[in-house]
Structures are given as structure tokens and as C-alpha cells.
């Protein structure tokens, strides 16, 4: 066996050369991998091999370019040169794929003459999620194998497809059941057949029949663009990916490749991809807790308990049933339980990804009860009753009597003090916050909150189970609203003040929507319901929301809130009557009315968020600046192409942010305009919020 570089070896099985990549954890195409591959193909050919098998060690085939190299000076051979050595080899090259062949990894496989894959393997071009497009010929080769519609879908969504689908589409030539050894044997057998039968050196670049089907079909591309417009609003990369596929359909291979290269460079040097690449690592960093090492023992979660089957409880429970974990769900009475379980069933039935049989399988994992004693065999119990401290303390005192030793007791509270809740138990080390976002079965964010006494094992378990149910978990310490809602609250104060000074709800919402957020604060209030926490008996017309509620406006649910809603389409229209009501109230409170610029709206909504983020870091509530960005991207729809509020502030320039906060702070009241000392320090020292770590 020859070691070609630190990560690539060359082996011989009879007359077949075997090149093996071993670059943990995911066999990314680091410079030494490219070097080893280039040398490997050359040496295999020089050595007279009759065929070459490319295979990877460890958990996966090549999962893409090495993203950490993107911001460094180029080193070693380019990927295109490496691929060329492979595609132009004078003997058959067979790629043997297990795990995930993603991005540059799939692009390498597409330069083999044949591909065999394990039945468990997955394939995808996820570059779009990094604000990129496949820059190693993938945009031209994939459509030639799977056709234009499928390539458009895969490249603009980043979706991975399974081996069966890949086989049916012609992306792989053979699907293999079994383990890594079975894959290697199948690839060697394929190589032997290719040699014995003198099979052609099939180059994907020479295929034309599938792209020819879409040649000149402008309508196909126009329809596709329209179908993803809403989901991809503001993002550059999806459109650039489409342009490359258009080039694949309409231009010769080499010209298409040039289009790809030019658009790739443009994206790679632009701000959106820089933000999205930063975000890729931010999300993975969030999982690392300095004082909770990776090998911290976790509690085995065999059964989960959920207390309360309301808006949150039902959705929370679904997450566990979705991965096959049985759930005991307890409500205060049979009627509430039936209603809660009914909503869960409806959610499953409505979901297009769940077959009728799966609906029944998942529902069978639920045990409903009105007796908390049924939590006795649960390893994790998540409380999702009303947001009321006395109630939470009393149910935790009960849970303390019921739950088995070592079980984790979690609260889904959005604002309340986890330490106070834990004080109602005899085992505060087992109490933790697990704050899901609504709808809990859909939203990716899970904010875990460690109390003063929460054990490392409880933290490790909450982080781990979060990942297993497909969430992105971020750890926070205790403070009102934790990371996400505490920051949101600052924006709300300013948004409410802006409409008193003369901005309209529609203007504030539009500015934030145009910035890239899914909706502004007033549309959000209408969606949630203006009457949450409002009581007619105690309402005193002391703010705009009370006034709207008093006039019968409840938000989307009754078609009237800050906006009026079309009963059929639910489309929102700004309501002059509301604007007038706000104006009258503002004048009665002594607010002078004026034109507020869009720029002021943006700054006053977002800079207090940045300031609060810095305070959260200074107080040690969040571990790192990037964790705050992860919370805001996943929990509140902050546009990932702007990185997150901390990254965005850095890209604006902290000196500018500080100057503006000072300026606004001189004329506006409120703690949220009091400059964070950390922010001030970082601005002075040239530091960055998104790189700050406690």
C-alpha cells in the first residue's frame, strides 16, 4: 500500500487499483486529498492498473469541498485538475459510495465512469445552503444524468436523495445492500466486469439526451423560478444555480462550465455566501459546551413525558414520536387530552410527508393520561402548561415525587426563571429549560436553559436529544426571555414607539420584511392574536394593543387587527382606521407626528437588538456571539444570508452601530439605548461580536 498524502492511499487488488480517502470526520476535499487523488490516478495508470476504484474510509464518502479552506490561500492542485485526471483516465474508474456524497464529493463521483452506492447512501449538491453553487462541474453533469427538473430541485433546495431514487434516476449504476465490505467487493466486481466486457469509459459530460429535453424550454425555467420565489426571497444562490442549469440545457458542456465558474466566483466572493459559510460553522459550534465535554454521560431516553397538550405540548410530543420514541402525554382532564391528541393526529394527517400507515404508527406511540403518576417510567418529562410561576412550581413539586431517579425534568417556559422552578424540587440538578418554538414540530430551534444547579449530564442529554429530533440546540443561561425573546422584546419596544411617532404598522413591517425577516412585529402580533394575555375587565386603553382589542380587533383570527384580512385569501391590507386610531392615541399622549424614514425604522428596530445581544454576552447568558445568531436564524427567521444579528452588526461596523446607539440614546428613553460596555469595548478595539466567546 502506498501512502500518497496524509489522507489518501493507493492499493492493489489483482489488477484493480484502489484509491482510498481517509480524511475524518467527513472526508472533505482538503488540499492533501486533492493532491493524493491527483497522484493516485496518475500512479494507478502508470502502474498498469486495468481499472481503478475510488472509495472512502470512515463514516462517509467525500462530503464536499473543505469549507474551512475557502477563506485561505489556494494550496495543492485544483479540484478541476483532480477531476480531469480521473475522468480522462484511460481505464474504467468506479466510485464506491457510502454515507453522503455531497457537493464536491458528488462532483468527484460524477467524474468516475461508473458509480456504485450502498442502499443507505445519500446524494446531494447542498452548496446553495452555503450561498454557493456546485463549482466543480456539478451544475453541468448532474442535469445530464438526472434531467433538468430533478437537477433544479436538488440544486436549489440542497435536498439529499436516497440511493433508490439515485439509482432510478441514473445517478448511480448499481445499488448494493450491506456494509462497507460489501460495497468494496461490489465495486471490485463491477471493475472486473468493466474490464472483461470492455465497457466504455462513460463520461457524464458527453451525455446529452436528458438535457436536450429541456433545450430552449423557457417556460420550464420560468415556472420553476415562480415555484420557489417565495421560499428563496432575498437569496442570490438559488437563481444562480438555475442559470447554470439553463446553461447545461442550452450550451455545449465547456461553455456551460464557464458559466458555472464565473457565477461560482461571483457568489464565493460575495457577502451572502460569506455569511452562510460563517453560519454553517456557527451552527456546529453551538453544540459545543466548554464545561460539558463530549464524553459527558447522557441519560438514555427510552420514553418521554409531556405535561400539557396545548399549542406547544402536542407539537413537542410529535418530535419524539417522529423518531420512534414513545410519549406519555398528560392533561388536566379528558376533554383537553382528547382535543390535544386530536390536533396531533390532524397535524400528521395534513402533512404530505406522512403516509396513512405512518400516521397510525406514530399515533400508536402516544399514551394519553390525566394522571401525572403515569410519568413514573419516563426518562425525560417536558412541562408545557400555562405560563404561570405558581402553577409551574406546583407541577414540578409533583413531578419530583413521581419521576424516577435520574430522569430529566424540563420546562418549556418562554420567560420564567428555571432556578425558581427547580427550587420546587429536591433535585435541581435534573431540572433544565427546553424552550421549543411554535409550531414546535416544525421550528428548528431548541433553546436549552441551564439553571445554576443543572448537571452536566442533564445539559448533555438535552443538547443530544435536540440533535436527534432534528433541532438545532443552543444553550442559554437564565434571564427573562433567555436569548431569543429577550432580544425580541427590545425590538418590540421600539416598533411600538415608532408607530406613535408617525410611522405606520405597515411601514415598520415592510422595512423588516424587505430586510429579509419573514414578517414584521405587527403582522406577527396579528398572527399570534392581539388578545393573548388581554382581559376586557382590566383593559384601560393604555396602549395601542389594548385600544385595538377594545374595538373588537383580535388579529387574523377575526379578520381585523393592525391590518384587515381577506376572509378567503387571508391577504393583509393596511387599515386607515387603525392608522387614525393610533394617531389619535399618540397625540393624546403628547407624541408629535412626523415622517419617519425607512432607515430610522430599520436602525431603531435592529440596533437595540444588537445592543441587547452584547449585554447577553457580557452577562455570560450566551456562550458565544455566534450562538445568538443561531437562535435568531432558526427561531425568528433572521435571513441567513445576513449571518445573524451579531454577524450583521459586525458587517455594518461596530463603530457605526455604537455611534447610532449613542445618537438615538440621547433623545430616546429606555435601557435598550444604554450602550453595552462590551459593545463599546469591541468597537474601540476592532473586535467582532460574532467571534466573541465567553
Q: What strand order describes the sheet that includes 161-162?
A: 100-102, 122-124, 161-162
Check residue 231 and report its DSSP letter. Answer: T
Report the residue number, 64 or 639, with the smaller CB distance to ligand 3HC. 64
User: Containing H/E element for 350?
Assistant: helix 334-350
Contact call for residue 273 and ligand NAI (CB under 6 A): no
Binding segment for ligand 3HC (CB under 6 A), chosen from 61-69, 323-331, 355-363, 629-637, is: 61-69
Give me the residue label for grid cell 481499472. 51
Contact call for residue 529 and ligand NAI (CB under 6 A): no
> Side-chain half-sphere of 483: how many Cα atoms within 13 Å?
40
Q: What is the Cα–Cα distance from 271 to 269, expressed in whole angstroms? A: 7
Number of residues forming the site for ligand NAI (CB under 6 A): 24
Give me the residue label for grid cell 387571508. 570
Rounded to a whole number of angstroms, the minimum distance from the CB of residue 530 to ligand 3HC is: 41
Q: Among ligand NAI, ligand 3HC, none, what binds residue 130 when CB lies within 5 to 8 Å by partner kind?
A: ligand 3HC
Q: Is 246 a catalytic residue?
A: no
Give me the residue label for grid cell 419530583. 400
Residue of minimal CB distance from ligand NAI? Answer: 310
Rounded to a whole number of angstroms, the minimum distance from the CB of residue 619 to ligand NAI is: 22
Q: Among ligand NAI, ligand 3HC, none, what binds residue 463 when CB lies within 5 to 8 Å by partner kind?
A: none
Contact call for residue 63 and ligand 3HC (CB under 6 A): yes
Report the residue number, 171 or 381, with the smaller CB distance to ligand NAI. 381
Contact call for residue 472 and ligand NAI (CB under 6 A): no
Contact call for residue 76 and ligand 3HC (CB under 6 A): no
Rounded to a whole number of angstroms, the minimum distance from the CB of residue 436 to ligand NAI is: 6
Report the residue number, 126 or 484, with the smaller CB distance to ligand 3HC. 126
Q: Is 334 exposed, middle or buried (0-12, 13-18, 19+ CB in 10 A)?
A: exposed
Q: Which of 13, 69, 87, 127 is catalytic?
A: 127
Of the candidates 297, 266, 286, 556, which has an alpha carbon nearest to the alpha carbon of residue 406?
297
Contact call for residue 466 and ligand 3HC (CB under 6 A): no
**List of residues 6+ apart from 609 with CB closer than 8 A:** 487, 488, 490, 491, 645
Report the residue number, 412 or 496, with the smaller CB distance to ligand NAI. 412
Q: What is the Cα–Cα distance from 693 to 627, expressed in whole angstroms? A: 9
Out of 102, 166, 309, 649, name the contact with ligand NAI by CB under 6 A: 309
Q: Is 107 a catalytic residue?
A: yes
Do the Cβ atoms of 448 and 435 come closer than 8 Å? yes
Q: Among ligand NAI, ligand 3HC, none, what binds residue 134 when CB lies within 5 to 8 Å by partner kind?
A: ligand 3HC
Contact call for residue 260 and ligand 3HC (CB under 6 A): no
| Residue 246 grid cell | 439553463
Rounded to a whole number of angstroms, the minimum distance from the CB of residue 234 to ligand NAI is: 25
Q: Which of 6, 87, 107, 387 is catalytic?
A: 107
Contact call for residue 188 and ligand NAI (CB under 6 A): no
> Could you please report the per-residue DSSP string of 287-317?
T-BTTB-TT------S-EEEE--SHHHHHHH
Report the residue number, 315 or 625, with the smaller CB distance to ligand NAI. 315
| Residue 310 grid cell | 396545548
User: Containing H/E element for 477?
Assistant: strand 472-477
User: Containing H/E element for 148?
Assistant: helix 148-157
| Exposure class string for 300-309: b at 16+ Cβ within 10 A, else e | ebebbbbbbb
Report the residue number, 280 or 534, with the smaller CB distance to ligand 3HC. 280
Rounded to a whole number of angstroms, the minimum distance from the CB of residue 238 to ligand 3HC is: 15
Q: What is the Cα–Cα distance from 278 to 257, expressed in whole angstroms? A: 27
User: Per the omega criterion (within 30 degrees of 0), is the bond before 25 cis?
Assistant: yes
> Could you please report the per-residue DSSP string of 579-625?
HHHHHHHHHHTTPPP----HHHHHHHHHHHHHHHHHHHHHTTSBSBH
Out of 100, 273, 525, 611, name the contact with ligand 3HC by CB under 6 A: 100
Q: Among ligand NAI, ligand 3HC, none, what binds residue 412 when CB lies within 5 to 8 Å by partner kind?
A: ligand NAI
Quote the distance between the C-alpha of residue 282 and its chain's center: 11
| Tally of CB atoms within 10 A around 666 | 8
Report the residue number, 144 or 672, with the smaller CB distance to ligand 3HC. 144
Of the candidates 235, 238, 259, which has an alpha carbon nearest to the alpha carbon of residue 249?
259
Report the residue number, 414 or 676, with the smaller CB distance to ligand NAI. 414
**Backbone φ and ψ of 123, nearest 5°:** -135, 140
- Pick out residues in 372-411 that bind ligand NAI (CB under 6 A): 384-387, 395
Report the residue number, 282 or 459, with the smaller CB distance to ligand 3HC. 282
Q: Among ligand 3HC, ligand NAI, none, what binds residue 380 when CB lies within 5 to 8 Å by partner kind?
A: none
Out of 284, 346, 404, 674, name the contact with ligand 3HC by CB under 6 A: 284
Out of 77, 131, 135, 521, name the contact with ligand 3HC by CB under 6 A: 135
- Pick out residues in 320-349 that bind ligand NAI (CB under 6 A): 330-332, 336, 340
Report the residue number, 248 or 605, with the smaller CB distance to ligand 3HC. 248
Give me the residue label for grid cell 402525554. 329
CA 6 vs CA 59, 192, 210: distances in Å: 18, 29, 39
Q: What is the Cα–Cα distance from 222 to 203, expressed in whole angstroms? A: 30
Contact call for residue 307 and ligand NAI (CB under 6 A): yes
Contact call for residue 7 and ligand 3HC (CB under 6 A): no
User: Containing H/E element for 420?
Assistant: helix 418-422
Q: Among ligand 3HC, ligand NAI, none, what binds residue 135 when CB lies within 5 to 8 Å by partner kind?
A: ligand 3HC
Of the candidates 169, 170, 163, which has an alpha carbon nearest to the alpha carbon of residue 120?
163
Rounded to a whole number of angstroms, the minimum distance from the CB of residue 648 to ligand NAI is: 24
- Pick out residues in 417-446 that bind ligand NAI (CB under 6 A): 435-438
Q: Among ligand NAI, ligand 3HC, none, what binds residue 627 when CB lies within 5 to 8 Å by partner kind?
A: none
Q: What is the Cα–Cα distance from 273 to 476, expressed in whole angstroms? A: 28
Check residue 642 and report its DSSP letter. Answer: G
Q: Which residues are catalytic?
A: 107, 127
Binding site for ligand NAI (CB under 6 A): 307-313, 330-332, 336, 340, 384-387, 395, 412-414, 435-438
Interface residues toward ligand 3HC, by CB under 6 A: 25-26, 28, 63-68, 79, 100, 102-104, 107, 126-127, 130, 132, 134-136, 138, 281, 284
Amino acid at each position: 500500500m502506498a501512502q500518497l498524502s496524509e489522507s489518501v492511499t493507493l492499493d492493489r487488488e489483482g489488477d484493480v487499483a484502489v484509491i482510498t480517502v481517509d480524511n475524518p470526520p467527513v472526508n472533505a476535499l482538503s488540499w492533501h486529498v486533492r493532491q493524493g487523488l491527483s497522484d493516485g490516478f496518475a500512479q494507478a495508470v502508470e502502474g498498469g492498473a486495468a481499472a481503478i476504484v475510488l472509495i472512502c474510509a470512515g463514516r462517509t464518502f467525500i462530503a464536499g469541498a473543505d469549507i474551512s479552506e475557502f477563506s485561505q490561500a489556494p494550496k495543492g492542485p485544483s479540484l478541476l485538475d483532480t477531476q480531469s485526471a480521473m475522468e480522462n483516465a484511460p481505464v474504467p474508474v468506479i466510485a464506491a459510495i457510502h454515507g453522503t456524497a455531497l457537493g464536491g464529493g458528488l462532483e468527484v463521483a460524477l467524474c468516475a465512469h461508473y458509480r456504485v452506492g450502498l442502499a443507505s447512501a445519500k446524494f446531494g449538491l447542498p452548496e446553495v445552503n452555503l450561498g454557493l453553487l456546485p463549482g466543480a462541474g456539478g451544475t453541468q453533469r448532474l442535469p445530464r444524468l438526472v434531467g433538468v427538473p430533478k437537477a433544479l430541485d436538488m440544486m436549489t433546495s440542497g435536498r439529499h436523495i436516497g440511493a433508490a431514487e439515485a439509482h432510478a434516476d441514473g445517478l448511480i449504476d448499481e445499488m448494493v445492500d450491506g456494509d462497507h465490505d460489501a460495497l468494496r467487493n461490489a465495486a471490485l466486481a463491477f471493475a472486473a466486469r468493466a474490464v472483461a466486457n470492455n465497457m466504455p469509459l462513460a463520461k457524464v459530460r458527453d451525455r446529452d439526451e436528458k438535457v436536450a429535453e429541456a433545450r430552449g424550454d423557457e417556460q420550464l425555467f420560468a415556472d420553476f423560478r415562480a415555484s420557489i420565489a417565495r421560499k428563496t426571497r432575498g437569496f442570490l444562490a438559488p437563481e444562480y444555480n438555475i442559470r447554470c442549469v439553463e446553461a447545461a440545457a442550452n450550451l455545449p458542456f465547456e461553455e456551460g462550465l464557464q458559466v458555472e465558474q464565473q457565477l461560482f466566483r461571483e457568489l464565493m466572493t460575495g457577502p451572502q455566501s460569506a455569511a452562510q459559510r460563517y453560519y454553517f460553522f456557527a451552527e456546529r459550534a453551538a453544540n459545543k459546551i466548554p464545561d460539558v465535554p463530549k464524553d459527558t454521560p447522557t441519560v438514555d431516553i427510552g420514553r418521554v413525558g409531556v405535561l400539557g397538550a396545548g399549542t406547544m405540548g402536542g407539537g413537542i410530543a410529535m418530535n419524539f414520536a417522529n423518531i420512534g420514541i414513545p410519549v406519555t402525554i398528560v392533561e388536566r382532564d379528558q376533554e383537553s387530552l382528547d382535543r390535544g391528541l386530536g390536533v396531533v393526529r390532524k397535524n400528521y394527517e395534513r402533512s404530505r410527508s406522512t403516509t396513512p400507515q405512518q400516521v397510525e404508527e406514530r399515533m400508536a406511540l402516544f399514551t394519553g393520561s390525566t394522571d401525572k403518576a403515569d410519568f413514573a417510567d419516563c426518562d425525560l418529562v417536558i412541562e408545557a402548561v400555562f405560563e404561570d410561576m405558581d402553577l409551574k412550581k406546583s407541577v414540578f413539586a409533583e413531578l419530583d415525587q413521581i419521576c424516577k431517579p435520574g430522569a430529566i425534568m424540563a420546562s418549556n417556559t418562554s420567560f420564567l426563571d428555571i432556578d425558581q422552578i427547580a427550587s420546587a424540587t429536591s433535585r435541581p440538578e435534573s431540572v433544565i429549560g427546553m424552550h421549543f418554538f411554535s409550531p414546535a414540530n416544525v421550528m428548528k430551534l431548541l433553546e436549552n436553559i441551564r439553571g445554576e444547579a443543572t448537571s452536566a449530564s442533564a445539559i448533555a442529554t438535552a443538547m443530544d436529544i435536540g440533535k436527534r429530533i432534528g433541532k438545532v440546540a443552543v444553550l442559554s443561561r437564565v434571564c427573562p426571555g433567555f436569548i431569543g425573546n429577550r432580544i425580541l422584546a427590545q425590538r418590540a419596544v421600539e416598533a411600538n414607539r415608532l408607530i406613535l411617532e408617525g410611522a405606520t404598522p405597515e411601514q415598520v413591517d415592510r422595512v423588516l420584511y424587505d430586510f429579509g425577516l419573514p414578517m414584521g412585529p405587527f403582522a406577527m402580533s396579528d398572527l399570534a392574536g392581539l388578545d393573548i394575555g388581554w382581559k376586557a375587565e382590566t383593559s384601560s386603553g393604555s396602549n395601542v394593543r389594548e385600544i385595538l382589542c377594545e374595538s373588537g380587533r383580535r388579529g387574523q383570527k377575526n379578520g381585523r387587527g393592525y391590518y384587515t384580512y381577506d376572509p378567503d385569501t387571508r391577504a393583509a391590507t393596511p387599515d386607515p382606521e387603525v392608522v387614525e386610531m393610533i394617531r389619535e392615541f399618540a397625540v393624546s399622549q403628547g407624541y408629535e407626528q412626523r415622517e419617519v424614514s425607512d432607515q430610522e425604522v430599520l436602525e431603531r428596530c435592529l440596533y437595540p437588538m444588537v445592543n441587547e445581544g452584547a449585554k447577553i454576552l457580557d452577562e455570560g447568558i450566551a456562550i458565544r456571539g455566534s450562538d445568538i445568531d443561531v437562535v435568531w436564524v432558526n427561531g425568528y427567521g433572521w435571513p441567513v444570508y445576513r449571518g445573524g444579528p451579531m454577524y450583521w452588526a459586525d458587517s455594518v461596523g461596530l463603530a457605526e452601530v455604537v455611534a447610532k446607539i449613542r445618537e438615538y440614546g440621547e433623545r430616546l428613553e429606555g435601557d435598550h439605548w444604554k450602550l453595552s460596555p462590551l459593545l463599546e469595548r469591541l468597537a474601540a478595539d476592532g473586535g467582532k461580536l460574532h467571534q466573541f466567546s465567553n
